[in-house]
Each structure stands twice: as structure tokens, then as C-alpha cells.
Amino acid sequence: MNIEQMPLDELFEKMQDDLYDGLADEVVAATNETLRRDLAPQEILSKGLIAGMDIVGVDFRDGILFVPEVLMAAKAMKAAMEVLRPLLVATDAPKLGTMVIGTVKGDIHDIGKNLVAMMMEGAGFNVVNLGVNTDASKFLAALREHDAQLLGMSALLTTTMPYMRVVIKALQEKGWRDKVYVMVGGAAVNEAFAEDIGADAYSADAATAVDRAKWAIKHEKRLQQKFAG
């Protein structure tokens, strides 16, 4: 059966399966077919793409999927989002929240950070990805510009990990520390280090990061405060 003849529930199921398998062309085709049927972009996002990425996240966390497979799924998600994003913006569709994310100053490793960014976007967050070698002033400027509730910092090298403390101190000096949920990760980072520098959360993988971010948006009412100064 071709996608034009599929009942809607089967079409969404196919979209999720193809996303899981990293089949970008098929996911884009299914996305276009749902739009042809006059479905709202937000419904397509939640019932097709986010639902599919949720399954990817669970299987990644449980060791069923691995990084290359998750990257393929995330790329398929990104391809479909290129179709949906202009429509979502036009309808002012709600987002779960906004995350600013970057690899800290002195570090140019970004595979893990990009995976977190893509998984966060797949979960329904607005993500501002600052790239690599990001200093404190750039993190703070992006937080204010985008009214972000979440800050994600990544470091692979033990020599660059301490810069996370510098960024948190800059937040404190601005009086913004209680407005932002700070999440850290990377190969060299662990729970004890995150606690030592005053971060709110450490995540060992992208799926855990998404879970923590969802929890923070739901339970941390302090994050609704606006930036000043």
C-alpha cells in the first residue's frame, strides 16, 4: 500500500518506523502526505516525529540503539523539520522550552553535543546550538536573546571541564543563576563534578538529557523568570 492510501494511524506508524530506521526521504514523504491531508503541523510533529524520537531515545538509553543509528534518526527528524518549521513558526506553535547549548571554550568536540541538541529538538524543545569553543559571554548573550530556561554545556577534555565553572560563575554574577537550569555532560564529566561546580544536572547520554530537561520545565517554576541586567 502506498502512503496516499494509508489510514492516518498507519501513516503515523510508518513515519515513526522510518524515523527509527533513519530513512530521511521516507520520513519527509510521509510528512508531506500528512500536510496534504490538511493536518495541523503541531499534530504531525507530536504524533509522528516526537513520538518516533521518543522510541529512539528509550532504545538508545537501553542499549538497543547506538550513536550512529541515533544520529541517522536525528538527521531524518531534521529533514522533516525543514518542512514543518516554517509552518510551525507561522502558527506560533508552542514549544516545551528553549535550550542554549554549546561545547565550552577550548574544546572543539561536538558529536555528543549535537546529538543532545537534535534529540532535544526532536522532543519538542527550541534549541539554540552555539557550536564549539563557546565562551561565557556568548552563552549569556544567547540565554538572554532567546529567553532560554535551559543551558547545556559539553566538554570532552579534562582540561576544558573547569570552564563550565566559569560560565556558572558568570551566571551568578549577572544574577541569572536561578533563572536557568544548567545541564552538563561529556566523556570526562560525571555526577560528582557537576555537583562540585554547581550545575543542576549531569546527563550521561542524550536520552537522559531530554528526560531531565522535560522534568525541569515541568517542575522548576523558577525558570519562568525573565532576564534582566
- On the question of a common fold for 3-90 and 98-224, the answer reads no
Per-residue confidence at 228, pLDDT binned at 50, 70, 90? low
User: Could you write out the DSSP letters of every residue in 32-64?
Assistant: HHHHHTT--HHHHIIIIIIHHHHHHHHHHHTTS
Residue 46: the pLDDT is: 87
CA 8 to chain CA centroid, nearest Å: 27
CA–CA distance, 143 with 173 (Å, rounded to integer)? 14
CATH superfamily of 3-90: Methionine synthase domain (1.10.1240.10)
Per-residue confidence at 90, pLDDT binned at 50, 70, 90? confident
**What topology is assigned to 98-224 in CATH?**
Rossmann fold (3.40.50)
Provide the residue type at 111 as one letter. Answer: I
Lowest mean pLDDT among 49-58, 64-73, 86-95, 214-223: 86-95
- Map out the domains of the chain as residue ranges: 3-90, 98-224
Q: List all residues 6 or more positions away from 85 whose beta carbon is below 8 Å from its beta carbon.
A: none
Name the average pLDDT for the chain: 93
Mean pLDDT in residue range 206-223: 92
Per the CB < 8 A criterion, the answer to whether 26 and 18 are in contact is: yes
Mean pLDDT in residue range 152-170: 96
Nearest to 168 by CA among 190, 216, 201: 201
Mean pLDDT in residue range 102-121: 90
Report for 57-66, 123-132, 134-143: range of highest mean pLDDT: 134-143
Provide the residue type at 52 as one letter. Answer: G
pLDDT in tens, 93-111: 778 999 999 999 999 988 8
Q: List all residues 6 or more positions away from 178 whose beta carbon is below 8 Å from its beta carbon.
A: 222, 225
pLDDT in tens, 47-68: 999 899 989 988 988 999 998 9
Per-residue confidence at 151, pLDDT binned at 50, 70, 90? very high
Per-residue confidence at 227, pLDDT binned at 50, 70, 90? confident
Residue 229: the pLDDT is: 57
pLDDT in tens, 15-34: 999 999 999 999 999 999 99
